[in-house]
Chains A and B, each alone.
Chain A
Amino acid sequence: AQSVTQPDIHITVSEGASLELRCNYSYGATPYLFWYVQSPGQGLQLLLKYFSGDTLVQGIKGFEAEFKRSQSSFNLRKPSVHWSDAAEYFCAVGSNQAGTALIFGKGTTLSVSS
């Protein structure tokens, strides 16, 4: 079955500390992988995406993610978290086939402490 697992429901990180959000996927075809961020009551903003090539991808707001095919993982990282990063983070997987929707993980809530 196709699925995305985000093992951590809620993470609290001190401002300035590093962050890693985990994402594992199960997908039959070549996966296209995404990380989105959602602030309360808002829509989704794309942080970064991986289609092919370099397995370390850079995104907006200083985020990066590494695709590891052998581990079926696409973990999101940031070296120094800012208070404004507090939000809900969703990992998603899709294919290159027309008409296919993304499959989302359940999300990880990030809290930032001062």
Chain B
Amino acid sequence: GAVVSQHPSWVICKSGTSVKIECRSLDFQATTMFWYRQFPKQSLMLMATSNEGSKATYEQGVEKDKFLINHASLTLSTLTVTSAHPEDSSFYICSARVVRNEQFFGPGTRLTVL
């Protein structure tokens, strides 16, 4: 099946700094990628839909100025958490849509903000 990678797999940063997470589709092109956030023991919550060459669509309650999404190519979407705070600590997972809305998920990025 299609492979989606994320980098880094985990990151620890200081409060107030920015962190960039990359999501790549390795063997296919993805015009649409999704970013999810998962708190411990909870389900995945959609943050935003990333479309290649256009602005991302954010879900209600997600600050677009804090979570910057860039989908500059058909194989790469990035999520930048700006001015990170401890409450942003979470597991961030991206997915890329293949046909019939089947989505392949990246392995996730564990963000810890101190």
Cβ 8 A contact of A100, one of B93, B101, B110: B101
Cβ 8 A contact of B101, one of A44, A102, A104, A107: A102
- In the complex, per-residue mask of B78-114: 1 if CB is within 8 Å of any chain A CB, else 0: 0000000000000101010100111111111010000
Supposing A90-B44, A99-B49 touch, asked if A43 and B100 sit within 8 A by C-beta, the answer is: no
Tally chain A residues at the interface, Cβ within 8 Å: 26
A111 to chain B, nearest CB (A): 14
Q: Once the chains bind, are A96 and B44 in contact (CB under 8 Å)?
A: no
Question: Chain A residues with Cβ under 8 A from B46's Cβ?
Answer: 101-103
- CB nearest to A100 among chain B residues: B101
- In the complex, per-residue mask of A31-49: 1 if CB is within 8 Å of any chain B CB, else 0: 0101010000111111001
Interface on chain B toward A: helix, strand, loop, or mixed SS?
strand
Q: Once the chains bind, are B93 and A43 in contact (CB under 8 Å)?
A: yes
What separation, in Å, do the CA atoms of A94 and B34 have in the docked complex? 13
A60 to chain B, nearest CB (A): 10
- In the complex, per-residue mask of A9-47: 1 if CB is within 8 Å of any chain B CB, else 0: 000000000000000000000001010100001111110
B91 to chain A, nearest CB (A): 8
Q: Once the chains bind, are A44 and B43 in contact (CB under 8 Å)?
A: no
Q: Once the chains bind, are A106 and B42 in contact (CB under 8 Å)?
A: yes
Q: Once the chains bind, are A44 and B110 in contact (CB under 8 Å)?
A: no
Q: A95: CB under 8 A from chain B? A: yes
Q: Once the chains bind, are B43 and A46 in contact (CB under 8 Å)?
A: no
Q: B1: CB under 8 A from chain A? A: yes
Q: A46-B105, A101-B46 are in contact. List 8 more A-B contacts (CB 8 A).
A: A32-B100, A32-B101, A42-B107, A43-B105, A43-B107, A44-B93, A44-B105, A107-B42
Taking beta carbons and an 8 Å cutoff, which residues of A are in contact with B? Answer: 32, 34, 36, 41-46, 49, 51, 90, 94-107
Task: List 21 A-B residue pairs with CB atoms under 8 Å apart, sorted by A's residue number.
Answer: A34-B102, A41-B108, A43-B107, A44-B93, A46-B105, A90-B43, A94-B103, A96-B101, A97-B101, A98-B32, A99-B49, A99-B51, A101-B34, A101-B49, A101-B95, A101-B103, A102-B103, A104-B44, A105-B43, A106-B42, A107-B42
